[in-house]
Copies of this chain bind each other. A is one copy, B any other.
């Protein structure tokens, strides 16, 4: 006889396991939503395009590896467990000499290339 109160399964989001599910670079995958914000993970390596997000700040959290974010007048270097908020409207260009695993946090609907478009623009809102 089942007398226990019904238990709902609550599942942790394990970022390492999520990364095992894909190998492609520069294609952010959504792992969670917080109100109208999305948590995305991505593998990136090499150079990206200059772009900005005129309507929103963008959070970068490095989970593994090293990331450099170039600005027109400087750069920030991020290692694992380091983060940086790129302010809205500020042009930036991520770069990684070797593959880096990172998490991005930004409002739903933000494109990886901002309004630059082009071949580096990733499909948006892809969950993993």
Beta-carbon nearest neighbor of A13 in chain B:
B83
Contact A105 B34 (CB under 8 A): yes
Interface residues on A, range: 35 or more
Instruction: Name the B residues within 8 Å of A13 (CB-CB).
Output: 82-85
Give the docked Cα–Cα distance between A10 and B105 (Å): 19
Q: Which residues of B contact A76 (CB under 8 A)?
A: 10-12
A10 and B69 in contact, given A35-B57, A57-B34 (Cβ under 8 angstroms): yes
**A76-111 CB contact bits vs B (8 Å, 1 = yes)?**
111101111100100000000000000001110000
Shortest C-beta distance, A69 to chain B (Å), equals 7
**Looking at the complex, which of A1-9, A42-50, A120-128 is the stretch in contact with chain B?**
A1-9
Does A26 reach chain B (CB closer than 8 Å)?
A: no
User: A: which residues have CB within 8 A of B?
Assistant: 5-16, 31-35, 37, 39, 56-59, 63, 69, 71, 73-79, 81-85, 88, 105-107
